Homo-oligomer: A and B are copies of this chain.
């Protein structure tokens, strides 16, 4: 196997692959650069190290500069964009210029272009013909769904450029059909990188990081935490000769992690909280309904995203207006008048009401102040009350997510909090 030179062992800083996406529309923010992410995933799965991504507009001087830099830093440069027929498609020309290589017209591409455009134009225009020009010595990456082919071009020792169009479907097809095989057969695919993701709820990223500091320092596998409003994740990534080897490295770390974090870790890889809750209930052959005020249907919406949820999730009441809490869920008016709609007694009555009305084993209710208005000193924006009622469970609690949070975040956090406590309640309900 070819070994990529490592940055630490080389004066020339030459190593791995880089991705260079070309297109002014990316710099203007008109489109999201999904190509980088897709190629990055492919490189990771081939075990090809990849340390930098760059975006450059349709400008020859700046593009040349970026290509030259990459040629001094990496062994593989993968470009997307700028292969089309219009004047702002400059990639092939600039690559040739950068390495003082002449462009040659390739007849095989010309014939292929004529075939492809048969129904559109009998004669190729100058701009269409442009796509048949490639730097001398290039290998072609065929493009079966579009017109612009890519090239594999090695302008100097230990440096190869692979070009692809910017259209994601064409890029993917060309990668899968030809480029991948080329990378493997030229021994660029080095080691296997495989990873496992652990999902956490009810713990902040920093608290989790503090508990596993020693693991975060590990080198192979590496352990890293990620956080979004949605959840906290830990990714264990191992590099090895094969899947067996990487698994052997990942498993003990995973075991240690789950031992440290206990029930805070709710699952691995692609599982979501809502899927887990439904699985737990399915196992117990139990049903559930929701009574949602400030989340407005958010919990129901999450649960119904899971195929097959109809067996377990029967539905619910969106009791946004207080009169609905009374009339549909049977919450006594005096309860609302005495304690307020955002209170333990009211969420308890909501959960009880929906459990009875919907004839389900489990009920979950939410009532809170999502803001931006409606808060008071005693009951600020971000205060949310919850109740879960199950066969042997009755818990009501409140959360204060903080009045600095946006309405959307408070709603999201409420849904997640409800689902996480539901998960724990089902596990404990025995």
Taken together as a complex, chains A and B put the C-alpha atoms of A103 and B29 apart, in Å, by 34
Q: Contact between A204 and B120 (Cβ–Cβ < 8 Å)?
A: yes
Q: Contact between B318 and A318 (Cβ–Cβ < 8 Å)?
A: yes
Contacts of A145 in B (CB 8 A): 404-406, 409
Q: Identify the interface centre among A216, A226, A323: most chain B CB within 10 Å of its CB.
A: A226
Q: Contact between A119 and B29 (Cβ–Cβ < 8 Å)?
A: no
A182 at the B interface (CB under 8 A): no
Q: Contact between A206 and B86 (Cβ–Cβ < 8 Å)?
A: yes
A299 at the B interface (CB under 8 A): yes
Which of A94-102, A247-255, A302-310 contacts the other chain? A302-310
Additional pairs, 15, CB under 8 Å, beyond known A26-B40, A52-B55, A296-B301: A26-B53, A28-B44, A30-B235, A32-B34, A32-B37, A36-B55, A52-B62, A85-B205, A88-B216, A88-B224, A126-B210, A127-B210, A169-B409, A307-B407, A315-B318
Which of A133-141, A151-159, A287-295 contacts the other chain? A287-295
Contacts of A126 in B (CB 8 A): 210
From the candidates B56, B321, B373, name the one contacting A307 in the complex (CB within 8 A): B373
Contact with B along A364-385 (1 / 0, CB 8 A): 0000001111000000000000
Taken together as a complex, chains A and B put the C-alpha atoms of A361 and B128 apart, in Å, by 42
Contacts of A358 in B (CB 8 A): 324, 327-328
A41 at the B interface (CB under 8 A): yes
Taken together as a complex, chains A and B put the C-alpha atoms of A226 and B91 apart, in Å, by 16
Classify the interface of chain A: helix, strand, loop or mixed. Answer: mixed
Q: Contact between B320 and A209 (Cβ–Cβ < 8 Å)?
A: no
A258 at the B interface (CB under 8 A): no
Taken together as a complex, chains A and B put the C-alpha atoms of A296 and B296 apart, in Å, by 11
A229 at the B interface (CB under 8 A): yes
In the complex, 19 of the A-B residue pairs with CB atoms within 8 angstroms, ordered by the A residue number, are A24-B224, A28-B44, A29-B41, A30-B226, A52-B55, A52-B56, A58-B224, A86-B225, A120-B204, A125-B206, A295-B301, A296-B297, A297-B304, A305-B408, A307-B372, A315-B320, A315-B324, A317-B317, A327-B357
A425 at the B interface (CB under 8 A): no
Taken together as a complex, chains A and B put the C-alpha atoms of A205 and B165 apart, in Å, by 14
Taken together as a complex, chains A and B put the C-alpha atoms of A313 and B372 apart, in Å, by 17
Q: In angstroms, how far is the closest chain B Cβ from the Cβ of A397? A: 13
Contacts of A57 in B (CB 8 A): 51
Contact surface of A with B, Cβ cutoff 8 Å: 7-8, 13, 24-34, 36-44, 50-59, 61-62, 65-66, 69, 84-88, 116, 119-121, 125-128, 144-145, 147, 167, 169, 195, 204-207, 209-210, 213, 216-217, 224-229, 235, 237, 289-290, 292-301, 303-305, 307-310, 313-321, 323-324, 327-328, 357-359, 370-373, 400, 402, 404-409, 411
Q: Contact between A324 and B318 (Cβ–Cβ < 8 Å)?
A: no
Taken together as a complex, chains A and B put the C-alpha atoms of A390 and B324 apart, in Å, by 19
Q: In angstroms, how far is the closest chain B Cβ from the Cβ of A3? A: 19
Contacts of A84 in B (CB 8 A): 205-206, 227
From the candidates B40, B121, B289, B404, name the one contacting A144 in the complex (CB within 8 A): B404
Taken together as a complex, chains A and B put the C-alpha atoms of A88 and B223 apart, in Å, by 10
Contacts of A359 in B (CB 8 A): 323
Across the interface, name the chain B residue whose C-beta is closest to A52: B56
Contacts of A66 in B (CB 8 A): 52
From the candidates B40, B69, B289, B293, name the one contacting A27 in the complex (CB within 8 A): B40
Q: In angstroms, how far is the closest chain B Cβ from the Cβ of A218? A: 11
Q: Contact between B304 and A315 (Cβ–Cβ < 8 Å)?
A: no
Across the interface, name the chain B residue whose C-beta is closest to A308: B373
From the candidates B25, B204, B373, B400, name the one contacting A224 in the complex (CB within 8 A): B25
Q: Contact between A319 and B327 (Cβ–Cβ < 8 Å)?
A: no
Q: Contact between B324 and A61 (Cβ–Cβ < 8 Å)?
A: no
Q: In angstroms, how far is the closest chain B Cβ from the Cβ of A267? A: 17
Q: Contact between B313 and A303 (Cβ–Cβ < 8 Å)?
A: no
Q: In angstroms, how far is the closest chain B Cβ from the Cβ of A207? A: 7
Contacts of A320 in B (CB 8 A): 300, 304, 309-310, 313-315
Q: In angstroms, how far is the closest chain B Cβ from the Cβ of A110? A: 14
